[in-house]
Amino acid sequence: MTPAERRASLWLASIYGLRMFGLFLILPVFAIYGRALAGGQEAYLIGLAISVYGLTQAMFQIPLGAASDRFGRKPVIVLGLLVFAAGSAIAALGATAATITGVIVGRALQGAGAVSAAVSAFVADSTRDEVRTKAMAIVGATIGLSFAVSLVIAPPLAAAVGLAGLFWITALLALVGCAVVIWGVPAAVLREETPEPVRHGDVLFNPQLLRLNIGVFVLHLCQTALFVVVPTLLVERGGLAAASHWMAYLPVILLSFALMVPPMIAAERRGKLREVFLAAIGLLVLTLVAAPQLSSLAFKGIIAFLLAFFVAFNLLEAMQPSLVSRIAPVHLKGFALGVYNTTMSLGLFAGGIVGGTLAKRYGNEAVFYVCAALAALWFVAAWSMKPPLARKME
């Protein structure tokens, strides 16, 4: 990567990290602190407060992604972060007033500040094809580290500042993100040759992009569904108290990023993009099929499952948006990534419902096997993918 590409990738990754860290801070503690709010005794309201963010995010990914194509990446990202900050403030005021309704409204507005597509498009604008997967991996690593750090500090921080304090911190981080966009992120210096105009409908029904959209839906459905049952397995079979789960997640996430580097380099430098992509999906399928047997081996088996899952997950998380940005028409890149992020958000939302329903009716093993079947169907759909051709830059 050139110095300009590295700087742009790191700054844009920091925007992702600041935003996601603010979101992750709430997840480990909300089910506990939310019970003190009026209406918080209703489990479905707790679930709604957590998941409504995903629904509104799915609604606004495409409009904001398309807007970034027309009005520029920076203005749209700043606007989205300001909306996110406003939602955080409303949620904080709701928590202060001890009403879960205010928190739900705030969380819904947080989701409306959906800047993932615009940020991903900005990363694509600022990097060449041959290093784009690496840039997306930097973004993914930042998100993973944000998740790991939030698991460690959220409980003591919530004890110190309360639920409202966490939402105020989230609002502050969004405003810091605005400053990073305005003064830190350099303008994109690469300009791709503009091809013949392509309509939005052609992007929606492009077979290559459809495969990637289906893939990200399945990937994040599996992620959310699995984490309906994995925390319980860590307690019941792994013997690890809930407050200590970070001790399992942190080393697994860090090691998985180290293990994904060699295949990612092979994909970029040796022209093995298709092979590595399919191998990652195959690893995901095998890991999910083996999960019930591994989890029966107590703590070590669960850790082995989590490590294999996150190696596959992190590879696919880095490669897929990179592929979307290469395949999508230049002037509709934000729109294409908006569609991609919308299907991702819908997968996150569906995963909780699917995982909870399967676990309740048929047991934890059903969650693993259904996710394995979905991943296998994805593998079949991805088999006929074609590596994208590199575009010329001015």
Q: What is the pLDDT of residue 41?
A: 77
**Would residue 392 count as lying in a domain?**
no
Query: Does 102 fall in a domain?
Result: yes
Tell whether 174 and 205 lie within a shared domain. Answer: no
Report the alpha-carbon distance of residue 377 to residue 299 in Å, rounded: 30
Q: Using the structure block, give the residue that is written with the tokens 């495409």.
A: 62
144 & 62 share domain? yes
Measure CA of the first residue to CA of the last residue in the chain; give whole Å. Answer: 17
Q: Identify whether 38 is part of a domain.
A: yes
Listed in sequence order, the residues at least 6 apart from 357 whose beta carbon sits closer than 8 Å to its beta carbon are none
Sheet strands (E) in the chain = none
Residues 201 and 161 in one domain: no
Output the DSSP codes for 13-34: HHHHHHHHHHHHHHTTTHHHHG
CATH assignment of the domain containing 114: 1.20.1250.20
Q: How many residues does the chain have?
A: 394
Residue-wise pLDDT for 40-66, tens only, equals: 777 667 767 777 777 888 888 888 888
221 shares a domain with 176: no
Please indicate, yes or no, if residue 191 is contained in any of the structural domains.
no
Is this prediction's pTM over 0.85?
no
Domain boundary (185, 220, 246) is at 185
Q: Which amino acid, residue 248?
A: A
The lowest-confidence range among 15-24, 185-194, 302-311, 342-351 is: 185-194
Question: Does 110 lie in the same domain as 67?
Answer: yes
pLDDT tier, 391 (very low <50, low <70, confident <90, very high otherwise): very low
What type of residue is 13?
A
Regarding whether 203 and 101 lie in a shared domain, the answer is no
Shared domain for 81 and 204, answered yes or no, is no
Per the domain annotation, does 108 fall within a domain?
Answer: yes
Per-residue CA distances from 130 to 47, 276, 348 (Å): 41, 15, 29
Q: Are 107 and 93 in contact (CB under 8 A)?
A: no
The better pLDDT of the pair 263, 192 is held by 263
Answer yes or no: is 308 within a domain. Answer: yes
**For all residues of the chain together, what is the average pLDDT?**
82
Range of the domain at 179: 1-185
* Tens-digit pLDDT profile for residues 313-366: 888 888 888 788 778 777 777 888 888 888 888 887 787 778 877 887 888 889
Q: What percent of the chain has pLDDT over 70?
A: 91
Structural domain includes residue 394: no
- Does 113 share its domain with 256? no
Structurally, the chain folds into a number of domains equal to 2
Task: Tell me which of 185, 215, 250 is where a domain ends.
Answer: 185
